Amino acid sequence: MSRPHGIPLPSAHRSSDDSKKSKSAYDDDEQGQPRPREGARQPTMAERVRTLVEYNASVSLTLPGARDHGPGFWEPAARTVTPEGDVVLLVPWDSPTARAAAYAQDDDLTCVMEITDVAPVAMRQRIRGRAWLAGWLTAVRNEDRARCVELLAERHPVQAVLESDGEQPAWMPVRLEVGEISVDDLWGTGCVEPEELARTEPDPIARHEAELLQHLHSAHGDQVRGLCTLLGNRADGGDVCAAVRDVVPVALDRFGLRVRLTEADRRTFDARFDFPEPVRDTGELRHAMHTLFAAATG
């Protein structure tokens, strides 16, 4: 599979002054885009892809001779990864994908699934990442339908969707047998083996990430802005907070929070703040955020 070119990433600069013991896990690279320094805790590529597959991000499918309408128009009601590393999607019964899959046999229908991850808070350069999964598409047959619906139900309330239209089903489960996977996101670029996708789990915060980021932005904007005090001084010796005009939460996962800072001249850069320990649920996340805000005001 030939993957499209990478997405544009925001520029960044970071100070090397550690006098305030910044909890950011990022260092500068040649392009100015912050990348995790060696040893920084971070999700694996497989975890990042599985999180994109199962939560929030938009999906479009490319089939030979047909293309379902892109993100925002066509969306599956649910999607998940099987223990074998396949992706099961619940698609509209009358969609091009469902019609093509209904007649597909084994490996004769190739398909590329493109996932686009957009930040849930308004900001410049909102696309946080993309992933591409290429493989072969078939309909889920009757003998495997119950198992696939059960897998989907572990992530989404699909039973209500399947039963909502009476005798005529509105949705059809299809299976993408994945052969190649690549990702280009805020952490970097790379490829993932389907077996890795099957062995990993999505980030435990992903289900709630959009509402949590929106809440941070609307109800805790001052505290989010105050995190810039943890960054120390600029490379030229100036105070980071004095130059920053806006701070917006970009991404949240079990390891930490990423924010985007905009200066008076409209230049932007990202900073990442680690939690003391990875969190497993929203209760632990709440405590970690309190600890992070306390460090910024202490």
pLDDT digits (tens, 9 = 90+) for 59-107: 988 887 665 555 444 678 889 999 999 999 998 888 888 888 988 876 7
DSSP assignment letter at 57: -
β-pair type (171-185, 127-139): antiparallel
Q: Give CA–CA dist 63/239, Å, rounded.
A: 52
Q: Indicate whether 33 pLDDT > 80.
A: no
Residue ranges and CATH numbers for the domains of the chain are: 26-42+207-297 (3.20.180.10), 45-202 (2.30.110.10)
pLDDT at position 170, please?
Answer: 80
Beta carbons within 8 Å of 238's beta carbon, 6+ residues apart: none
Across the strands, what pairs with 172? 91
Contact 112, 155 (CB under 8 A): no
pLDDT digits (tens, 9 = 90+) for 243-285: 889 999 999 999 999 999 998 888 898 999 999 999 999 999 9
Average pLDDT, the chain: 81
Go through 32-70 and write b for each residue having 16 or more CB atoms within 10 A of its CB, e for each that does not: ebbbbeeeeebbebbbbbbbbbbbebbbbbebeeeebee
Residue with the two structure tokens 């052969």: 179
